[in-house]
Structure 1
Amino acid sequence: MIYLSHCCKSIIFSIGLFVMVASVTLGFFNDAPGATFICKKEVPKITLRNLSPPYKDYSYFQFRQIFPFEYNASSFSLINAWWLAEISTLVYADETYVRAQFTQAGLKHIRFLNRSSTQCFIAANNRYAIIAFRGSEIWKRGESFNPRRIVADLKTDIDIRLSEWVPGGRVHSGFKAALEDVWDELLQETERLQDQGIKIWITGHSLGAALATLAADRLQTVQGLYTFGSPRVGDRTFESRFRPKAFRIVNGNDIFASLPPAGSFRHVGELRRITPKTGPDDGHGEWELAIQGPCGEASDASEGGDLGSVLWVPSAIRDHVPLFYAIFLWNELVETMKKRD
């Protein structure tokens, strides 16, 4: 029998532990049969059948343990962009489904603000909270028809008059009125969270992005704002005095990012553009995107058999699909990790 000193045993144990951890870690990006690996998601073909949310068969927050939300970040975070794109897509679904997904992701303290033209989720844990505004109801599919809510959203979208904005400048009247519907409750809940030292993040897609922008400007003390397919919100004065740390992500030819027309309206936030074969443009070169991985997932992929599954969707409309933002940012995150490996 061979007896080993305590020192030798410690060295052997340390080497064994290192090998085990390295094997598991590398396995996430290993294409070997039977390995557990992180992979890119398949980009679905968009037709009239799956053009609009909700996307309930999509797997939200996969591998969140490996890519936890970076709640202390003060500069652009690809991980946070992915998280917030998924959240902006998720909140189009019904309250019960959204609550279940947030809870599973570790955000167990949830409040849903629901008014005629505005829906907003506040999901929090003991470190950070995410305020996510839902986009237009006219963009949803597969749920009960609610004409009053659709009319309310249409009125919000088309009322493009500029109104005075208390913090300074002028903003889109419809967006301002929609935020006012939930402002008192939102402010009360946000102040309660901030009093506990919880960091506030704000996000949204489409109309939700516009409301998120106004909310961030009005709250001021937020950790970060990420918007997806956001329309223009305010005038030149609003743009010049806008202070929150904001990132405005635009996918391809997303038409909503060009509305209302430039002139009286201005965008705010640092632009990160997703182009067909690149990731978010940070001014330092192009990032390859959308290379289908071995475990692709086509959420709500088209199913042939009716006119809606074959009609062509213009890229300006297709690129606004919130699921594209989530998938493209996830794929870029995977690619970035592989390059570092």
Structure 2
Amino acid sequence: MTWTDFLGRADTQVVMFRDKSVDHDTIVVCFRGTQPFNTEDWCSDVDLSWYEFPHIGKVHSGFLKALGMQNIVGWAQEVDNDSAHPPRRAPLAYYDIRDTLRDLLQKNPEAKFIVTGHSLGGALAILFPGILFYHDEELLLERMEGVYTFGQPRVGDEAFGQYMEENFRKNRIEYYRYVYCNDMVPRIPSDGLFKHFGTCVYYNSEYKPSIIEEEPYKNYLSIWGSIDMRRNAIYELIRSFIMLTKYGEAYKEGWLLFFIRIFGLMIPGVPAHCAQDYVNSTRLGSLRHLHFYHFHHKKNRS
């Protein structure tokens, strides 16, 4: 667990693990999503203020704070990240992850890494390379293969999106934003200021994927969208009874998710944000027939 200066406590959680075999060595950085009953996480989500990077763009301030932006100081390239540094009792997320990756990559010349996350974790996952670009972290950018987010909210304005896409192309880094059906979180905040960017991999309620520019009904508060969302909420509730029979024990839905789907009849889009549908999408939705539009030629493993 890492420190958040603005909260004065350790709150942001990150998991790092490694997939190593004869022909590859991949480090995975995974940011934890919003915890349903964690008020600090929700404060980060609903904080609609923004932080402006000169000549880059405006970014959602709540997400930057969760990633490790320092109070008053902002985004210095190097900091004293010692957890014993008062009043800090844990390291700042961005700096701790960056320093850990530096150490691992320097010790393993063939190792590369990817970044991922769901919900709030997805927002932090896409902002992490943004700060690496800002600090021009050559080693990490050279060894970074991709960013894969699930149910990610919008994180910045149009200028920031253009900055990110330009740097993804320049550094040959893949970025795919996965969205399941009527998930409300990718449709917030409103696209009046905040804009999505990158490749959207969209799954419908039958877990069939498609590559689109942006998910249907891009803003959650859509009159026409609300009709379709409620229809899908009814279908998903019915579907929960047949998942076990159709796909097997691994896809059985418990009572908690069942009640969440009932709640979704009143507020559609909430159940669709649950991790279960994203897991099902990646397991059941075949991507083999899709044509991915890459920013670049993928990095070769030498």
Instruction: Tell me if both proteins adopt one fold, taking TM over 0.5 as the criterion.
Output: yes
Partners of 1:247 and 1:258 in 2: how far apart? 16
Judged with a 3 Å threshold, the aligned counterparts in structure 2 of structure 1 residues 128 and 157 are, in CA distance, closer, same or farther, namely: same
Partners of 1:178 and 1:255 in 2: how far apart? 21
1:224 counterpart residue number? 146
Matching residue within 3, 18, 26 for 1:124: 18
Q: TM-score, normalised by structure 1?
A: 0.55
Higher Cα radius of gyration: 1
Q: Tell me which amino acid in the other structure corresponds to 1:269.
A: G
Alignment pair present for 1:209 and 2:122: yes
Q: Tell me which amino acid in the other structure corresponds to 1:194.
A: L
1:234 counterpart residue number? 156
- Map residues 188-199 of structure 1 onto 2, 5 A cutoff: 188-195=99-106, 196-197=108-109, 198-199=111-112
SS of corresponding position for 1:217: helix
Give, in angstroms, the shift of residue 300 of structure 1.
Answer: 4.7
- Map residues 92-241 of structure 1 onto 2, 5 A cutoff: 113=2, 116-126=10-20, 127-137=25-35, 139=36, 150-165=38-53, 168-180=56-68, 181-195=92-106, 196-197=108-109, 198-220=111-133, 221=141, 222-241=144-163
SS of corresponding position for 1:203: strand
Partners of 1:268 and 1:309 in 2: how far apart? 30
1:272 counterpart residue number? 201
2:280 counterpart residue number? 327
Q: Tell me which amino acid in the other structure corresponds to 1:178.
A: A
1:17 counterpart residue number? none
| Alpha-carbon contact 1:249-1:280 (below 8 Å) kept | no
| Alpha-carbon contact 2:261-2:271 (below 8 Å) kept | no
| Greater fraction of residues in strand | 2
SS of corresponding position for 1:223: strand
- Please give the per-residue CA displacement for 1:118-162, whole angstroms capped at 9, x wherever unaligned: 11111124401110000112x26xxxxxxxxx2321221121111
Give, in angstroms, the shift of residue 294 of structure 1.
Answer: 5.5
Partners of 1:185 and 1:204 in 2: how far apart? 17
| Alpha-carbon contact 1:133-1:204 (below 8 Å) kept | yes
SS of corresponding position for 2:210: coil
Partners of 2:260 and 2:145 in 1: how far apart? 41
Partners of 1:327 and 1:212 in 2: how far apart? 21
2:185 counterpart residue number? 256
| Alpha-carbon contact 2:251-2:280 (below 8 Å) kept | no
Partners of 1:312 and 1:151 in 2: how far apart? 20
Partners of 2:41 and 2:115 in 1: how far apart? 20
Q: Tell me which amino acid in the other structure corresponds to 1:317.
A: V
Q: Tell me which amino acid in the other structure corresponds to 2:270.
A: I
Partners of 1:167 and 1:134 in 2: how far apart? 30
SS of corresponding position for 2:160: helix
Give, in angstroms, the shift of residue 169 of structure 1.
Answer: 1.5
Partners of 1:154 and 1:294 in 2: how far apart? 34
- Please give the per-residue CA displacement for 1:212-240, whole angstroms capped at 9, x wherever unaligned: 01012223522011111110001111100
Q: Tell me which amino acid in the other structure corresponds to 2:15.
A: F
Partners of 2:256 and 2:40 in 1: how far apart? 32
Q: Tell me which amino acid in the other structure corresponds to 1:216.
A: P
Partners of 2:211 and 2:17 in 1: how far apart? 29
| Alpha-carbon contact 1:171-1:233 (below 8 Å) kept | yes
Partners of 2:247 and 2:115 in 1: how far apart? 33
SS of corresponding position for 2:156: coil
SS of corresponding position for 2:13: strand
Identity of aligned residues (%): 26
Give, in angstroms, the shift of residue 271 of structure 1.
Answer: 0.4
Judged with a 3 Å threshold, the aligned counterparts in structure 2 of structure 1 residues 299 and 190 are, in CA distance, closer, same or farther, namely: farther
Give, in angstroms, the shift of residue 245 of structure 1.
Answer: 1.7
| Unmatched segments (≥5 aa) in structure 1 | 1-111, 141-149, 284-289
Partners of 2:62 and 2:2 in 1: how far apart? 18
Alignment pair present for 1:297 and 2:244: no
| Alpha-carbon contact 1:246-1:268 (below 8 Å) kept | no
SS of corresponding position for 1:131: strand
Partners of 1:241 and 1:114 in 2: how far apart? 27
